[in-house]
Amino acid sequence: MKSPINVAELLAKERGNEQAGIKLLIEEVTAAATADVQSRWLNGPMKGVDLWTESDCRAMVLYVRWSD
> Rounded to whole angstroms, how far apart are CA atoms 62 and 57?
9
Q: What is the mean pLDDT of the chain?
A: 82
- In our burial notation (b when 16+ CB lie closer than 10 A, e otherwise), range 13-24 reads eeeeeeeebeee
Helices (H), 5-65: 7-13, 18-41, 49-63
- C-alpha–C-alpha distance, residues 45 and 40, integer Å: 10
Among 63, 4, 11, smallest CA distance to 32 is for 4
pTM equals: 0.75
Tell me the per-residue pLDDT of 19-50, one tens digit each, with 9 for 90 and over: 888 888 889 999 999 999 888 887 777 777 77
Q: Using an 8 Å Cβ cutoff, are 61 and 36 in contact?
A: no
